[in-house]
Amino acid sequence: MKHILFILLTFCQISLFAQTTISGKVTDAKNNPINGANVYLDGTYDGTSTNDKGEFSFSTSEKGTQTLVISFVSFETYINTADVASLKNLKIKLRDDVNSLDAVVINAGTFEAGEKAKVTVLKPLDIVTTASAMGDVMGALQTLPGTSTVDEDGRLFVRGGEAEETQIFIDGIRVFTPYTPSAQNTPSRGRFSPFLFKGISFSTGGYSAEYGQALSSVLQLNTIDKPEEEKTDLSFMTLGLGVGNTQIWNNNSFSINTSYINLAPYQEAFPDRNTYTKPVQSLNGEMVFRHEFKDNSLLKMYGAFSYTSFDVIQDDINFEDGLRFGLKNRNLYFNTSYKNKFANNWRLETGFSFANDHSNIKIIDDSVTDIENSMHFKIKLKKAFSNRFKISFGSEYFITDFNEDYTTESNKKYNLNFNNNIFASFAETDIFFSKNLAAKVGIRAENSELLNEFTLSPRASLAYKASKNSQFSLAYGQFYQNPKNEYLKFNQDFKAENTSHLIANYQTTKQGQIFRIEAYLKDYKNLVKYNDEYPIFDSNFNNNGSGFAKGIDVFWRQNGKIKNTDYWVSYSFLDTERDYKNYPTAATPNFASKHNLSVVAKHWVEDWKSQIGFSYNFASGRNYTNPNESGFLNKKTKNYNSLSLNWAYLIDQQKILYFSVNNVLGNKNIFGYNYKNTANANGNFDRQAIIPSADRFFFVGFFWTISDNKKTNQLDNL
């Protein structure tokens, strides 16, 4: 008995004394010691922190093969499985965590908004609080550099490109008709409510191989994955009413946003230059259903319906009684996306969208019915081999079925239709050579059934971090896009239009401020040309057009340096010429202005519980053709100036009163001139200025959020 006890005790003693010392030194990649790294044997209590020389030493009674773990914030965790006896005088270099916020970002051409972004240019609230934006996503983006102010149109014109050269995606799936229709010289708006999105990525060039059929720009909107609160949103506006609601149950949530807009009362109070026989009315509804599966995969279904109608007579120098334009448009959009992580760091993203757009248009006494059905299917796989090496690849299929019935005054009928189907595949790789150097290389292949054409577009970008706060990026890419519906409906014997982008970017960021400057060069090839004043069914079309755009975009944003003030300044310089459409020679198109400047500022007044903001937009004059003089696009309009103000008053957490005025100074902006088709008695052509339908625009809204969360907001439950 005593023997056993003795042996047991001795054994314990031995085990107590049989300690192994584990020691070493921890440094970063440049041999600087790391102080305070956590060093331990996994699954045991044995461990320590490194000292200011990066050294560590601790003893353990563990035996045999153990796993040594060294972890430190913003470095990759080091793991070494070996015999404890061998873990002595180790020299360990921790690798930088390339996922950390201060790692280099591939960002040439791209602006990110939302909290996931490493460098945020716009914040989610900016869309609703930017004075000139009037709650429109597109309006807020037009305060970023690279966009041109084309106020009579409202769509995004990026770096010398036409509005159709920008493609818009929701959750990676294409939107086919992103803008609400509007009368001539009246700006259109984006169809989506800004409140359904958590992040926006706006690329003004050099984007990933994942995106095609866009010559100039890609805008990605990502819907909220998981709403946090059940709530009801009510809006009462001078233009109409809005209701929104979010419900959450189990792993599901459902959000709906609807609005009814009627401009009749507004036009009664502030008559504009048009004669509305039917005022602008629109009914919009959007909904998102989300379901999270047990394996954390996520299904999102987004649906939007909108109906717009109006009938207007606009003054026109060529029509004594004015030019009548009537429209009834209904648009249905449906988008489903699914994402899942599986196996060993694989990620699957797939989805499809369907759009049905139906327009009845009346121009004078002609009537046009356009029906466009479009679909997009996409599947993408992504594999992360490590934090530093990732690949992604996928395929997609676009279907567009366009049909137009044209009935003339004299009851002649024409039918135009085409199917524009495109199959595409893409592959891309992301490589981090270090925390300071990263590259993205990809290729995209497209096959257009309509044009019977196969195209290959290589894309590459590179980013180098030069110091703690600054980095350089470069991007190059080839981009193809089929000609627009306006041409395809008359002729299908085309090639895809093409551009190449070359971009160089420098960015420096500090807490609360960001400065970036970007230079670009775009080369356009195979642009569509035709020989008539407007493209018509017997026009002669060809693909011999070409053009270029080059320029510099500058962005500066600072928040908080001036107390309670957030402001940004965007400046774009654009030099572009095109020989396309029916141009007799290369010229700067009428939508492009050489200089564009936006200044947006917001100031919070604590005592008034108010945010007061302004935005100022400037654009230098745009070209127009004066037929009384020789030459094409031979004159320039005067400069464009507009100052907008807004005031948001927070009545309480859930009630906001909002006022805004666009072009408060009432500048008489001119977008161009409309010349009479026939000369007057003196042999001159008379003209009419193209001007906005009203100089100023007022908006008053009351927004009320009712949170269903009874526990948190009922103050009287005590």
Q: Which of 62, 102, 164, 316 binds another protein (CB under 8 A)?
A: 102
Instruction: Kindly state the smallest distance separating residue 29's Cβ from another protein, in Å.
Output: 17
Can you list the positions of beta strands (E) in 343-388?
Answer: 346-363, 366-386
18 binds another protein (CB under 8 A): no
Q: Which of 100, 258, 539, 625 binds another protein (CB under 8 A)?
A: 100
653 binds another protein (CB under 8 A): yes
Kindly report the number of other CB atoms within 10 A of residue 411's CB atom: 6
Instruction: Kindly state the smallest distance separating residue 74's Cβ from another protein, in Å.
Output: 4
Cα separation of 233 and 227, whole Å? 14
Burial track 101-130 (b if 16+ CB lie within 10 A, e otherwise): eebbbbbbbbbbbbeebeebbbebebbbbb
Kindly report the number of other CB atoms within 10 A of residue 592's CB atom: 26
Residue 12 Rama label (left phi>0; alpha psi -120 to 50; beta): alpha
564 binds another protein (CB under 8 A): no
Q: Which is nearer to another protein, 199 or 285 (CB)?
A: 199
Q: Choose the binding region for another protein from 1-9, 250-258, 544-552, 612-620 (rule: CB under 8 A).
A: 1-9
Cα separation of 314 and 5, whole Å? 107
Cα separation of 418 and 537, whole Å? 13
Q: Which is nearer to another protein, 119 or 332 (CB)?
A: 119
Instruction: Kindly state the smallest distance separating residue 43's Cβ from another protein, in Å.
Output: 5
Instruction: Kindly state the smallest distance separating residue 609's Cβ from another protein, in Å.
Output: 7
C-alpha neighbours within 13 Å on the C-beta side of residue 302: 26
692 binds another protein (CB under 8 A): no
Instruction: Kindly state the smallest distance separating residue 294's Cβ from another protein, in Å.
Output: 14
227 binds another protein (CB under 8 A): yes
40 binds another protein (CB under 8 A): yes
Instruction: Kindly state the smallest distance separating residue 139's Cβ from another protein, in Å.
Output: 19
Q: Phi and psi dihedrals of 14, rounded to 5? A: -60, -45
Q: Which is nearer to another protein, 120 or 216 (CB)?
A: 120
576's enclosing H/E stretch is strand 565-579
17's enclosing H/E stretch is helix 2-17
Q: Choose the binding region for another protein from 32-40, 254-262, 445-453, 518-526 (rule: CB under 8 A).
A: 32-40
229 binds another protein (CB under 8 A): yes
Alpha-helical (H) ranges within 65-153 are: 126-129, 137-141
| Contacts of residue 432, Cβ cutoff 8 Å, sequence gap at least 6 | 98, 103, 104, 387, 388, 389, 438
657 binds another protein (CB under 8 A): no
**Using H for helix, E for strand and C for coil, what is the string for 531-552?**
CCCCCCCCCCEEEEEEEEEEEE
43 binds another protein (CB under 8 A): yes
Q: In angstroms, what CA-CA distances link 463 with 440, 457, 517?
A: 9, 20, 14
Q: Which is nearer to another protein, 71 or 625 (CB)?
A: 71
112 binds another protein (CB under 8 A): no
Report which DSSP code applies to 133. G
User: What does DSSP say about strands 166-170 and 217-223: parallel, antiparallel, or unpaired?
Assistant: parallel
Residue 658 CB burial class (10 angstroms; 0-12, 13-18, ≥19) = buried
Q: Phi and psi dihedrals of 7, rounded to 5? A: -60, -45
User: What does DSSP say about strands 319-342 and 513-530: parallel, antiparallel, or unpaired?
Assistant: unpaired
267 binds another protein (CB under 8 A): no
Instruction: Kindly state the smallest distance separating residue 99's Cβ from another protein, in Å.
Output: 8
Q: Which of 151, 566, 577, 695 binds another protein (CB under 8 A)?
A: 566
629 binds another protein (CB under 8 A): no
276 binds another protein (CB under 8 A): no
Q: Which of 88, 609, 638, 668 binds another protein (CB under 8 A)?
A: 609
Q: Which of 14, 16, 73, 269 binds another protein (CB under 8 A)?
A: 73
295 binds another protein (CB under 8 A): no
Q: Phi and psi dihedrals of 608, rounded to 5? A: -95, 0
123 binds another protein (CB under 8 A): yes
712 binds another protein (CB under 8 A): yes
Q: In angstroms, what CA-CA distances link 591 with 147, 154, 553, 649?
A: 11, 11, 17, 36
Q: Which of 652, 681, 682, 683 binds another protein (CB under 8 A)?
A: 652
Alpha-helical (H) ranges within 356-499 are: 485-488
Instruction: Kindly state the smallest distance separating residue 559's Cβ from another protein, in Å.
Output: 8
80 binds another protein (CB under 8 A): no
Q: Which is nearer to another protein, 574 or 656 (CB)?
A: 656
Residue 62 three-state SS: coil
Say how many residues touch another protein, by CB under 8 A: 47
Instruction: Kindly state the smallest distance separating residue 37's Cβ from another protein, in Å.
Output: 9
Q: Which is nearer to another protein, 97 or 316 (CB)?
A: 97
Do 125 and 566 form a contact (C-beta atoms < 8 A)?
no
Instruction: Kindly state the smallest distance separating residue 606's Cβ from another protein, in Å.
Output: 9
Cα separation of 166 and 212, whole Å? 10
49 binds another protein (CB under 8 A): yes
21 binds another protein (CB under 8 A): no
- Measuring CA to CA, which residue among 515, 483, 518, 516 is closest to residue 502? 518
Percent helix, percent strand, percent coil in the chain, to nearest 5: 10, 55, 35
Instruction: Evaluate the CA torsion angle 625, 629, 635, 638 in order and state its sign.
Output: negative
Q: Which of 31, 42, 408, 486 binds another protein (CB under 8 A)?
A: 42
Instruction: Kindly state the smallest distance separating residue 227's Cβ from another protein, in Å.
Output: 8
Q: Which of 52, 115, 295, 321 binds another protein (CB under 8 A)?
A: 115
Q: Which is nearer to another protein, 544 or 713 (CB)?
A: 713
Instruction: Kindly state the smallest distance separating residue 569's Cβ from another protein, in Å.
Output: 18
709 binds another protein (CB under 8 A): yes
247 binds another protein (CB under 8 A): no
47 binds another protein (CB under 8 A): yes
511 binds another protein (CB under 8 A): yes
Residues that bind another protein (CB under 8 A): 1, 5, 8, 36, 38, 40, 42-47, 49, 69, 71, 73-74, 97, 100-102, 115, 120, 123-125, 198, 224, 227-229, 231, 511, 559, 566, 609, 650, 652-653, 707, 709, 711-713, 715-716, 718
